[in-house]
Every structure is written in C-alpha cells, then in structure tokens.
C-alpha cells in the first residue's frame, strides 16, 4: 500500500536530502517527538570533533600491541570489544595518525559496510585509540555530557532510529559526518548520572569477565604445558615418506616443526580423538531473505560464533520452521559444541539449554557428544585452546577458501584433564559468563531508562 507524506521545500534544503525514505511519516513523527522534549542537543555540539578514520592503511602496519585500531569488528557491541583487534605502533600513531586519536569514553560508529549504523563506547581498558576508514569517531566533550549517558541514548530506540534515518541511500549505504552531527540527543539533567553509572558498571563487568576468562585460559595452558613450548622458526625442515603416507598429506605446511612439537607434547598424556568423543553433523544453507529478528527458530551463523565469548539467544537471527527443508531434521539440543568449518575456522561455542532447538549454517559443524561430558564449559575452553586450534590450522585444506574436512576434524587430539582441574576451569568460565550476562542486563536497563524518560517528557 502506498504511503504519502508532504514536506516543505525548506526541509529538503536544510537536510540536503531529496530521497523519499528520509521523510517517511515515521521519521517526521520522530522529529515532532524530539521537538516536544524540553532540552535537546545536536551530537555535533557535544563533540570536540567528528572525524573519518585513517584512510587506506596497510595491514603490514598492524602490530600485536601499541595503540588499538578500532575497525568495524569492534563495534558489534555497545561497549567496543576486542574481536580481531589490531594495534598501531606508537611511533606511527604519534607521527602520522595523531589527528584521529580518540580517548576512552569517546564514541565510534560504523559509517559504511554491512554493520553500518553500529555504535560503541571506547572502554577504559586502553587510554588512547585510533580508528579505520570505515569508522567515524566522535570525540566527546566531557564538560557538556557524560559519554556513558550518551551511548545509552544512542543505543535507545530514538537514537537508533535517527542513525538509520541518516544512512545515505546508495548501493552499500553510508553515514556522512554532517549527518552524524545532526543526531538529536535528549537531555535529562537529574537522571543522566544514574544512567551513566549503569553503563559504567556494565563496562567494569565486561573487563572482569575478560580477566576471569583469561585466567582460565592461562590455567589450562599451564596444565597442558603449552606455556613451556618455545617455537623456533627453522631455516628448513623435513618429513619422512612414512609420515606422508600415514597422514595422507603432502603439503609442506602440514609438517611444520611447531605442529610436531605440539603433538609430541599432547601424546605424552592421556588423550582421545574428536571422532571418538563427538558425532559430527553439518549445518544447512538458508536464504538470508528468510531471516527475521524476532519470531521463529534461532539460526546460528558464523558471525555469531566466537573464540572467547558465550553464545547467547539474542545474538542469532530467526527463521520459520516451515522454511527448513523436510530432509533436514537435525536441531541443536543442550550442551552441544558448534565449531566453524569454513571461513573463520576454529570459532567454537557451546550450545546450552537456552539455545536448545537451534539450527545452524552450512559452514559450521555440530559436535554432539557420544559420551557424557560432565564439564561442557571446560570442554568449550579446551576446544578453543592452542592445543586444538593449532591442530585445526595444521589440518586446514589449502584451497581458495580454507576449510577442514570432517575426516581431518575427527583426527584431532583432545587431551584429557583431571576432574579437579576441570572443576576449576568450569568455575572460572561460568563466572566469566555470569558477569557478561549481568553486564548486558545493565546496558538494557540503561537503554530502557532512557526510553522511559523520553516517553514521560513527551506526554
């Protein structure tokens, strides 16, 4: 059904927009909604600057430490995360890229690409940041607004709708800096500090969760002796013909010395094979047009999986059962392991009872236990550890799209761990997950409180 709306020519001139979508009734109603709030600022007036990130920086300049470089990966959560985080050398940052420096508490937005409109607060884990060309950076003026309140407003329904409205209608879509500056921020002087405190507590809980999970990782690596391995890069190496025949592999990468050192270490302790512990099932290909955000069965894709975070129901899209082929009866039940086979190989998540009945994509493999696993969260940690991840890297097929086949996956060694150590690993991992869940609840509370204040102001 056609939708009609009438706007004045002056509105077209003021907004520098002539596309009909920008003036849809829901957006013009949003303008009226915001105008009824007594105190509103434009985002540009609350910022020291709004800038584009570093243009066309070579990956050769990425480092393992230094100044964090925020890319779109980090803006998938309201508080920027460490997924695929890279760094710039401090010398490069200070000599060449200092003009785009941001501080903890500043705001970043994805301005182009698949995640356009995603927004995040830079946490206090690092004091200084920089950001890439697909990201817009907002240096927040702390004398005018608390950045923790600002992010709560921007992820609220009113903040999000404004960001979506300002996306330019092009093939890929983009956000212009001038439009980011126009975003209206509702102010509530007597409540902003309370909302900001909720967000700050959420940020602290994320840091505590990461620290607890890192302790579990270090404890596991120490238990397996991985922390004592010291890989040297040799000038050359060789493999016997019998090894080629036994492994049925002839690619040089498979026989790198570091892989052999790892396997020798694991074989010194009790171990099993993935194929003896798990049954491997493949996922299903679903047309993205069938995805929705609210109703149906959770459908788990590669992008929802992680190497250090739990998988939560709200992370996945939904599909209707009627859209699932009748010859695909398998659905994930509780305490299964989901591991990525293609694309970003090695991502692994435990599917617990909250995700029971989920389906999963064709680039993943579901590992359903053949035996009782008394410590499923510790098993998830083990499958994410270098003990398993290095074997996955070793066994990846060297094709245009790297992947690991089911037979290769079944041959991976799983070291056995004493029950008392499993208890400790389970406790730490569960504690990390609990803190992360509490953090998310606080963010939802902060966002909801902003929305309540806006509704009260416009009555």
Condensed to tens digits (0 to 9), the pLDDT of residues 159-177 reads: 998 888 777 666 567 888 9
Structural domain contains residue 31:
no
- Quick: pLDDT tens for 339-395: 665 556 788 888 877 777 788 888 888 888 888 888 889 999 999 999 999 898 888
Q: Same structural domain for residues 180 and 266?
A: no
Residues 396 and 253 in one domain: yes
Distance CA 202, CA 185 (A): 21
What is the C-alpha separation between 76 and 287, in angstroms, rounded? 23
Instruction: Report the alpha-carbon distance of residue 232 to residue 260 in Å, rounded.
Output: 12
DSSP per-residue string spanning 229-267: ------S-----HHHHHHHT---GGGG-HHHHHHHHHHH
- Residues 229, 170, single domain; the answer is no
Domain membership of residue 198 (yes or no) is: no
Stronger pLDDT, 228 or 219, i.e. the higher one: 219
The full DSSP string for 341-391 is: -SSSTT-EEEE-GGGTTBEEBTTEEEEEESS--S-HHHHHHHHHSHHHHHH
Specify the DSSP element, H or E, that contains 220: helix 192-224
**9 within domain boundaries:** no
Cβ(102)–Cβ(131) below 8 Å:
yes
Which domain covers residue 137, as residue numbers?
38-187
If you average pLDDT over residues 100-117, what whole number do you get? 90
The two three-digit tokens of residue 208, written as one number? 């505590």
Q: Where residue 161 sits, what CATH number does that domain have? A: 3.90.220.20
Residues 300 and 335 reside in one and the same domain: yes
Residue 89 lies in a domain: yes
Q: Please tell me the distance from the alpha carbon of residue 144 to that of residue 82, in angstroms, as a whole number.
A: 29
First to last CA, the chain: 31
The SS3 assignment for 284 reads: strand
Instruction: Please indicate, yes or no, if residue 451 is contained in any of the structural domains.
Output: no
Tokens for 423?
A: 């208890």
The tens digit of pLDDT for each residue in 266-298 reads 999 999 999 999 888 887 888 878 887 777 788
Characterize the bridge pairing of strands 278-282 and 86-88: unpaired
Q: pTM here?
A: 0.86
Distance CA 157, CA 151 (A): 12
Which tens digits make up the pLDDT trace of 174-194?
A: 888 998 999 999 999 899 999
Could you tell me if 101 and 234 lie in one domain? Answer: no
Count of structural domains within the chain: 2
DSSP code, position 228? G
Residues 343, 243: one domain? yes
| Co-location of 176 and 262 in the same domain | no
Predicted confidence band of residue 92 (pLDDT cuts 50, 70, 90)? very high
Q: CB of 304 within 8 A of CB of 311?
A: yes
pLDDT in tens, 392-438: 888 876 666 677 888 888 999 999 999 999 999 999 999 999 999 99
Inform me whether the pLDDT recorded for 2 exceeds 70: no
Q: Are residues 286 and 168 in the same domain?
A: no
């Amino acid at each position: 059904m056609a939708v009609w709306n009438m706007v004045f020519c002056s509105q077209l001139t003021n907004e520098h927009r002539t596309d009909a979508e920008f003036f849809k009734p829901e957006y013009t109603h949003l303008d009226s909604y915001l105008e009824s709030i007594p105190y509103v600022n434009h985002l540009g007036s609350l910022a020291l600057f709004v800038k584009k990130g570093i243009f066309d920086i070579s990956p050769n300049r990425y480092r393992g430490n230094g100044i964090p470089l925020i890319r779109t990966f980090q803006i998938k959560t309201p508080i920027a995360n460490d997924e695929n985080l890279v760094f710039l050398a401090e010398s490069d940052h200070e000599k060449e890229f200092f003009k785009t420096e941001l501080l903890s508490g500043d705001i970043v937005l994805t301005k182009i690409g698949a995640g356009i409109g995603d927004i995040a607060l830079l946490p206090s884990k690092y004091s200084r940041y920089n950001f890439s060309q697909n990201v817009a950076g907002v240096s927040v003026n702390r004398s005018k607004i608390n950045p923790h309140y600002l992010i709560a407003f921007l992820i609220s329904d009113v903040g999000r709708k404004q960001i979506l409205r300002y996306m330019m209608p092009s093939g890929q879509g983009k956000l212009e800096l001038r439009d980011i500056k126009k975003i209206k921020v509702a102010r509530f002087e007597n409540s902003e500090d309370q909302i900001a405190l909720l967000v700050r507590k959420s940020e602290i809980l994320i840091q505590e969760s990461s620290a607890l999970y890192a302790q579990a990782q270090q404890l596991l690596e120490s238990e397996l002796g991985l922390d004592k391995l010291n890989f040297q890069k040799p000038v050359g190496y060789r493999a016997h013909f019998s090894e080629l025949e036994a492994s049925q592999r002839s690619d040089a990468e498979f026989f790198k010395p570091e892989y052999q050192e790892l396997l020798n270490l694991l074989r010194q302790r009790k171990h099993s094979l993935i194929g003896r512990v798990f049954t491997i099932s493949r996922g299903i290909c679903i047309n993205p047009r069938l995805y929705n955000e609210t109703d149906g069965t959770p459908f788990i894709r590669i992008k929802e999986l992680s190497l250090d975070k739990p998988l939560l129901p709200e992370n996945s899209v939904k599909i209707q059962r009627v859209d699932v082929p009748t010859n695909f009866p398998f659905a994930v039940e509780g305490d299964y392991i989901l591991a990525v086979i293609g694309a970003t190989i090695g991502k692994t998540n435990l599917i617990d009872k909250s995700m029971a009945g989920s389906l999963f994509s064709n680039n993943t493999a579901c590992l359903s236990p053949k035996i009782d696993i008394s410590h499923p969260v510790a098993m998830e940690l083990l499958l994410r550890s270098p003990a398993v991840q290095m074997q996955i890297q070793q066994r990846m097929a060297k094709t245009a799209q790297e992947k690991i086949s089911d037979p290769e996956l079944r041959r991976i060694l799983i070291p056995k761990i004493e029950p008392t150590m499993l208890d400790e690993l389970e406790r730490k991992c569960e504690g990390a997950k609990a803190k992360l869940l509490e953090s998310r609840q606080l963010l939802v509370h902060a966002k909801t409180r902003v929305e309540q204040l806006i509704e009260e102001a416009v009555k």
